[in-house]
């Protein structure tokens, strides 16, 4: 007999017992809805943790030009070394960067081409770029946009933003405000996950490519210059040049409110290309990199180091002319630790501290994955309970419907027709119940995130899994009763009242 006919028979049989059908289905619906909601909550929590970690900058790496942690300024390859000099300490110890208090000497006496008063450079030399606190401590203008592009090609890298930082006066009408100027890439709002735009938006890729004179104001700057006015579309002056205001940026982070003097919101953002053009710079102060996952920070940091060493032609025994700083690095160096200890730690166990914080990220990932699995398995129990409910009802139904089976057998139904009918009934119950469950689970997850503000995430996989389980439950728990039904003897059933 055609499957379609069997299915029609099953549907008719189910329709004859509406209440029973509905009650059985509810079991399945609740099961599937629970599984879906639990998984949604679990993976919501997981991605929320990931988001927090990312928002905290755990996946952020900053590559800074210069390397003060190496303590003594490296002798540039092109430096002219006085032949008579013999007191060069720690030859060969560069890579370790061990800090020896008291022996810090800045080897300024070396002649460096950049120091040549007659040389004409296309960028301010390290010495000229005062205002960079690192200047003189190994700051070297070595990072370029080409370096940033090379970093972009490393696997696992999410966003890369070139950075040039200066202090600048912003002028609007008669109002002046001295603030921090950041020359950045368009990807900055995606790197700074806590950012939100009060007005307007960030400058576009095209504006960056064309080095247009556009500016995004930090909320503090906007307030100082414009008060409550919407500055978008207005023109401010910077270095006596006109800049069109594109947007105003603030933060969604309620823990740290924007305040005058901070680096993010008492600041203005200009395309890095514009800054380079106007200030005649070809080098960068830093490159901000984010990784796709928190767990990759160490690997990516390492790769960046290797890449830049090759690009900058640094030989094995020379120290880096840049610093790769991850959030871990900052956490360790920013915690009120004695400066000398900090330097010693960062210098000596750079790998270790990165690994530990990296592992914290991984642990958080694992913990939330475990939670999802736990919630999912608890919910699966409810699915199984729903399945047993179906089996129960179907078994009861076989006894109750012995006569119906007998009638069907008498008019010519084969044992397998009866088997198929009962099997299709339970599959229909569980699949329709499951579909309803998916719907209810989806609504439940959506309302939970709306009302309780918990983050939930209904993934296609979780829908497929819970739906698949419900169909499997229908087959699995439906088979035994169906088999029982098919084995009912035709005469026995006709005598049954």
Partner 1 sequence: MTPNVPVISIKKLTKTYQMGDVAVHALRSVSLDIQAGEFVTVVGPSGSGKSTLMHILGCLDQPTSGQYFLDGKDVSRLSDDEVSTVRNKKIGFVFQGFNLLTRTSALENVELPLLYGPDPVSATERRARAMAALEAVGLGSRYEHHPNQLSGGQQQRVAIARALLNNPSILLADEPTGNLDSRTSVEVMDIFQSLKKERGITIVLITHEPDVAAYGSRIISFRDGVITSDELNTRRRTARGELAELPEPLEESA
What is the per-residue DSSP string for 177-208?
EEEEEEEE-TTHHHHSTTEEEEEE-PPPHHHH
Q: Which is nearer to partner 1, 215 or 420 (CB)?
A: 420
Q: Which of 101, 131, 335, 412 binds partner 1 (CB under 8 A)?
A: 412
Find the shortest distance in angstroms from Cβ 32 to partner 1: 28
* Rg of the Cα atoms in the chain: 34
Q: Which of 432, 440, 448, 494 binds partner 1 (CB under 8 A)?
A: 494
Q: Which is nearer to partner 1, 25 or 488 (CB)?
A: 488
Give the integer Cα–Cα distance in Å for 196 and 473.
47
CA distances in angstroms from 284 to 63, 64, 130, 206, 357, listed in the order given: 10, 9, 14, 20, 28
Find the shortest distance in angstroms from Cβ 422 to partner 1: 15
Q: Which is nearer to partner 1, 275 or 394 (CB)?
A: 394
By CB under 8 A, residue 127 contacts partner 1: no
By CB under 8 A, residue 404 contacts partner 1: yes
User: Which range in 3-11, 159-167, 330-338, 383-391 contacts partner 1 by CB under 8 A?
Assistant: 3-11
Q: Which is nearer to partner 1, 212 or 404 (CB)?
A: 404
Q: Which is nearer to partner 1, 122 or 497 (CB)?
A: 497
Find the shortest distance in angstroms from Cβ 418 to partner 1: 10
Q: Which of 381, 410, 452, 464 binds partner 1 (CB under 8 A)?
A: 410
By CB under 8 A, residue 23 contacts partner 1: no
Q: Which of 211, 415, 432, 440 binds partner 1 (CB under 8 A)?
A: 415
Q: Which is nearer to partner 1, 1 or 373 (CB)?
A: 1
By CB under 8 A, residue 11 contacts partner 1: no
**For residue 344, what are the contacts with CB-CB under 8 A and spacing of at least 6?**
98, 99
Q: Which of 138, 406, 433, 481 binds partner 1 (CB under 8 A)?
A: 406
Q: Which is nearer to partner 1, 103 or 495 (CB)?
A: 495
**For residue 183, what are the contacts with CB-CB under 8 A and spacing of at least 6?**
162, 163, 164, 165, 166, 269, 270, 271, 272, 273, 274, 275, 276
Q: Which is nearer to partner 1, 13 or 170 (CB)?
A: 13
Sort 19 into a burial class: Cβ within 10 Å, 0-12 / 13-18 / 19+: exposed
**Pairing between β-strand 175-184 and β-strand 267-271 as defined by DSSP bridges:** parallel
Kindly state the number of chain residues that form the binding site for partner 1, as judged by CB under 8 A: 26
Q: Which of 79, 347, 417, 432 binds partner 1 (CB under 8 A)?
A: 417
Q: Which is nearer to partner 1, 13 or 249 (CB)?
A: 13
By CB under 8 A, residue 316 contacts partner 1: no
Query: In this structure, how many other beta carbons lie within 10 angstroms of the beta carbon of residue 497?
Result: 5
Q: Which of 83, 120, 411, 460 binds partner 1 (CB under 8 A)?
A: 411
CA distances in angstroms from 183 to 214, 285, 359, 439, listed in the order given: 11, 10, 33, 48
Sort 145 into a burial class: Cβ within 10 Å, 0-12 / 13-18 / 19+: middle
Q: Which is nearer to partner 1, 268 or 485 (CB)?
A: 485
Determine which helix (DSSP H) or strand (DSSP E) holds 60, and give its type and residue range: strand 60-65
Find the shortest distance in angstroms from Cβ 50 to partner 1: 54
**For the packed helices 350-400 and 402-410, what is the interaxial angle rounded to 10 degrees?**
70
Give the integer Cα–Cα distance in Å for 466 and 460.
10
By CB under 8 A, residue 407 contacts partner 1: yes
What is the per-residue DSSP string for 206-251?
HHHHTT--EEEEEHHHHHHHHTTS--TT-EEEETTEEEEEEEEEEE
Give the integer Cα–Cα distance in Å for 34 and 237.
59
**For the packed helices 350-400 and 460-486, what is the interaxial angle rounded to 10 degrees?**
30
Site for partner 1 in 158-197 (CB under 8 A): none
By CB under 8 A, residue 1 contacts partner 1: yes
Find the shortest distance in angstroms from Cβ 384 to partner 1: 31
**Pairing between β-strand 214-218 and β-strand 157-172 as defined by DSSP bridges:** unpaired
Residues that bind partner 1 (CB under 8 A): 1-2, 5, 8-9, 12, 16-17, 403-404, 406-417, 490-491, 494, 497
């Amino acid at each position: 007999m055609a499957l379609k006919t069997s299915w029609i028979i099953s549907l008719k049989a189910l329709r004859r017992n509406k209440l029973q059908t509905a009650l059985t289905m509810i079991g399945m619906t609740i099961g599937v809805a629970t599984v879906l909601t639990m998984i949604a909550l679990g993976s919501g929590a997981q991605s929320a943790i990931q988001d927090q970690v990312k928002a905290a900058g755990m996946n952020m790496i900053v590559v800074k030009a210069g390397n003060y942690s190496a303590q003594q300024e490296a002798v540039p390859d092109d430096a002219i070394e006085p032949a008579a000099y013999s007191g060069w300490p720690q030859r060969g110890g560069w890579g370790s960067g061990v800090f020896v208090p008291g022996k810090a000497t800045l080897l300024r006496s070396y002649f460096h081409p950049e120091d040549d008063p007659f040389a004409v450079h296309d960028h301010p030399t390290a010495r000229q770029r005062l205002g960079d606190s690192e200047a003189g401590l190994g700051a070297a203008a070595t990072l370029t946009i080409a370096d940033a592009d090379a970093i972009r090609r490393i696997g696992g890298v999410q966003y890369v933003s070139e950075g040039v930082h200066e202090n600048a006066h912003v002028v609007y009408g008669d109002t002046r405000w001295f603030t921090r100027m950041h020359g950045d890439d368009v990807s900055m709002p995606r790197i700074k996950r806590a950012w939100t735009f009060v007005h307007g938006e960030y400058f576009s890729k095209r504006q960056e490519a064309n080095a247009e004179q556009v500016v995004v104001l930090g909320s503090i700057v906007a307030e100082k210059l414009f008060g409550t006015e919407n500055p978008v579309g207005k023109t401010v002056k910077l270095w006596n040049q006109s800049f069109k205001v594109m947007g105003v940026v603030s933060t969604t982070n309620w823990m740290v409110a924007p305040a005058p003097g901070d680096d993010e919101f008492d600041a203005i953002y200009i395309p890095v290309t514009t800054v380079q053009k106007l200030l005649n710079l070809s080098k960068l102060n830093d490159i901000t990199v984010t990784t796709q996952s928190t767990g990759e920070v160490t690997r990516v940091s390492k790769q960046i180091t290797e890449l830049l060493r090759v690009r900058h032609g640094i030989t094995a025994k020379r120290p880096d002319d840049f610093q790769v700083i991850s959030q871990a690095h900052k956490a360790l160096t920013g915690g009120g630790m004695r400066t000398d200890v900090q330097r010693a730690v960062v210098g000596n166990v750079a790998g270790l501290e990165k690994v530990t914080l990296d592992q914290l990220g991984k642990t958080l990932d694992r913990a939330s994955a475990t939670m999802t699995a736990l919630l999912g398995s608890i919910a699966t129990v409810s699915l199984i309970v729903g399945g047993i409910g179906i089996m129960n009802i179907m078994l009861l139904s076989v006894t109750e419907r012995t006569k119906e089976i007998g009638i069907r057998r008498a008019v010519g139904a084969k044992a397998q027709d009866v088997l198929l009918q009962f099997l299709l009934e339970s599959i229909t119950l569980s699949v329709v119940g499951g579909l309803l469950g998916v719907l209810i689970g989806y609504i439940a997850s959506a309302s939970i995130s709306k009302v309780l503000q918990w983050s939930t995430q209904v993934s296609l996989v979780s829908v497929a899994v819970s739906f698949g389980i419900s169909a499997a439950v229908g087959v699995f728990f439906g088979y035994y009763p169906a088999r029982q039904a098919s084995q009912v003897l035709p005469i026995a059933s006709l005598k049954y009242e």
